[in-house]
Chains A and B, each alone.
Chain A
Amino acid sequence: MYTQALSTTETDDRGLEDAAKAAQFQARIDAEERIEPNDWMPAAYRKTLTRQISQHAHSEIVGMLPEGNWITRAPSLRRKAALLAKVQDECGHGLYLYAAAETLGTSREELVDAMLAGKAKYSSIFNYPTLTWADIGIIGWLVDGAAIMNQIPLCRCSYGPYARAMIRVCKEESFHQRQGYEIVLTLCRGSDEQQAMAQEALNRWWWPVLMMFGPPDATSQHSDTSTKWKIKRFSNDELRQKFVDATVPQAQYLGLTIPDPGMIQDADGHWPYSEIDWTEFKQVLAGNGPCNRDRLAARGKAHDEGAWVREAAAAYAAKRARRQTAQAAE
């Protein structure tokens, strides 16, 4: 799914690095060249990317939980198969992104441990509960829609492995978004009860989705380095506005009301939105969202209860290697 714009850049430590190398590195970035794992890179660039890519990976994995909540209750066999396949895709994205993060020198185990210990963040959107089937449609339509808005520019990110991962992820995400939209469309064309279910879900998800783009530009710190390194190409507010502008006509087509009364399109074609409740955002980031504890507990439980399985696999692999060595020696 997606990581939100909450990465902050590490303090610029190029003073400690070879200035010539740093200049050369920046020249490559400016020339739109891709940086590859074995290339020289500033320590801060490595650290920023490790954090951003791993946050993104954690988001994919934690993001399996709210949607996974409906796999066993999907209302038709077709929906059940599509949802299961979708959640499986998220897992694949997570694996893919952990692999991309590992190219920067930190192992998946270390990254996962940091997440489980509450030291690494994941997208705050997954700390909201999926209460009805309509939530599955709204997540596909809006959460995946917002993710795509954020991730398309990342396909041109300066770090090669991340950019390439994003190309594949974006393809699957746009499929998910269409699927989500189609779920919502079916509800909106259905009974009064189903339409009400869709509207109620939109009411709950709208503001948290807008928060996915991160704090407003006026208060967002450190994004200049990310911009200079071409990790980030658009500001939080630019992307947020683009998303709102794309979504309003879709909601109109569906016959749904965006829970922001009095939105009027301006002369430039934009749909200005009301002030976002950033207190809620900060609370969720601080661990006080409706599901933060449940999400971490569920991941922790899977990790802990699976420990003996991972140990068994490692023990077996070691035994087999020993046997093969012994055989070769005979």
Chain B
Amino acid sequence: MPVANIQVSETPLVLYALRRADDALILGHRLSEWCGHAPMLEEDMALSNIALDLLGQARELYTYAAKAEGKDNDEDKLAYLRDVRQYRNLLLVEQPNGGFAQTLVRQFFYSAFADLYWRAMMASRDTTLAAIAAKSEKESAYHLRHASEWIIRLGDGTDESRARAQAAIDHLWAFTGEMFAVDEGECALIHADIAIDPGSLRGRWLTTLSGVVSEATLELPQTDWMQQGGRTGRHSEHLGHLLSELQSMQRTFPGQTW
């Protein structure tokens, strides 16, 4: 008997924490799919390491979302008992691993943003978010370095790796716009200095990308069309499959302690 989905009272602050928690969990989950299957043992280690950092961020953010909501939810209920339409992550992070190039390009796009984002969030007036930011910023800086080095190696490696890296960039580019979008609720948090305006990071994010991509002899697409929807629960088809795996135990054996 599958257990019903929980209901979450998505106040602006709850929703804000939930969105970032979902980003971290879903991307961490994707990276964890590599464990035991990476191109070299060093990357099994590195991708697992990054996944663990993201999982840690997700747990702190879920716990904070649950606390801000003030009901009987907790990190596990938030992760395991919401359906695809209740998930609030970016479309970018739910995209399948594809090959190594696609995984690393996805990571590069996200980490280049996360690095700037968490650094800026250290100044949040919300002390919990500021503390999570301080820890996440250090982790993101490493994630970005790792991804950037790989983009350069793949781009400036062989013809094959260059083609694969460029194809991944072209494929994932349309999912990057969502990182910089805000809705009304977030605007209020930005005005209250609890959140930062992600739009203000876009210029620096592009500078980071351009630097690495040009050293890698690759190119950023010229298209402006961006996919949206993750933040309001309109996901790609991929997320449902990910969740059915992630949540299978909690759905099969409802209400038990593990």
Contact = CB atoms under 8 A, between A and B. Distances in A.
Interface in B1-53: 25, 29, 32-33, 35-45, 48-49, 51-52
Given A84-B32, A84-B51, A84-B55, A186 B257 contact: yes
B237 interface: no
Interface stretch (A13-21, A68-76, A158-166, A209-217): A68-76
A309 B161 contact: yes
Interface string A130-150: 000100000000000000000
B172 interface: no
Contacts of A47: none
A88 B56 CA distance: 15
B235 interface: no
Contacts of A302: 36-39
A279 interface: no
Nearest to B63: A77
B62 interface: yes
Interface stretch (A116-124, A187-195, A269-277): A187-195
A76 B258 contact: yes
A94 interface: yes
B250 A75 contact: yes
A181 B153 CA distance: 43
A70 B187 CA distance: 40
B256 interface: yes
Interface in A264-308: 298, 301-302, 305-308
Contact of A81 (B39, B59, B158): B59
A298 to B, nearest CB: 7
A61 interface: yes
A79 interface: yes
B220 interface: no
Given A85-B52, A305-B99, A308-B161, A64 B257 contact: no
B55 A74 contact: no
B152 interface: yes
Contacts of B164: 308
Nearest to B79: A77
B226 interface: no
B197 interface: no
Contacts of A157: none
A311 B258 contact: no
Interface stretch (B108-116, B125-133, B241-249): B241-249
Interface SS of chain B: helix
Task: With a 10 A CB-CB cut-off, give which of A87, A92, A307, A312 has the most chain B CB atoms.
Answer: A312
A75 B45 contact: no
Given A133-B258, A312-B153, A313-B157, A73 B249 contact: yes
Given A306-B40, A311-B157, A316-B153, A81 B246 contact: no
Contact of A84 (B35, B250, B253): B35
Nearest to B258: A75
Contact of B157 (A71, A301, A316): A316
Task: With a 10 A CB-CB cut-off, give which of A84, A94, A319 has the most chain B CB atoms.
Answer: A84
A133 B249 contact: yes
* Interface band, chain B: 35 or more
Contacts of A29: none
Nearest to A80: B55
B232 to A, nearest CB: 24
Interface in B144-187: 152-154, 156-158, 160-161, 164
A316 B161 CA distance: 10
Interface in A16-66: 61, 64-65
Contact of B56 (A81, A133, A194, A298): A81
A306 B249 contact: no
A202 interface: no
A254 interface: no
Contact of B52 (A73, A84, A95, A307): A84
A8 to B, nearest CB: 27
A70 to B, nearest CB: 9
A319 B44 CA distance: 25
Nearest to B41: A95
A310 interface: yes
Contact of A190 (B38, B58, B249, B256): B256
A75 B250 CA distance: 6
Contacts of B38: 302, 306
Nearest to B37: A302
Interface string A210-227: 000000000000000000
Contact of A71 (B32, B49, B79, B258): B32
Nearest to A62: B36
A194 B256 contact: yes
Contacts of A72: 29, 32-33, 245-246
Contacts of B55: 77, 80-81, 84
21 contacts: A64-B44, A71-B33, A71-B35, A72-B29, A72-B33, A77-B25, A77-B55, A80-B55, A84-B55, A85-B52, A88-B44, A88-B48, A88-B49, A91-B36, A91-B48, A306-B38, A306-B100, A309-B100, A312-B160, A312-B161, A316-B152
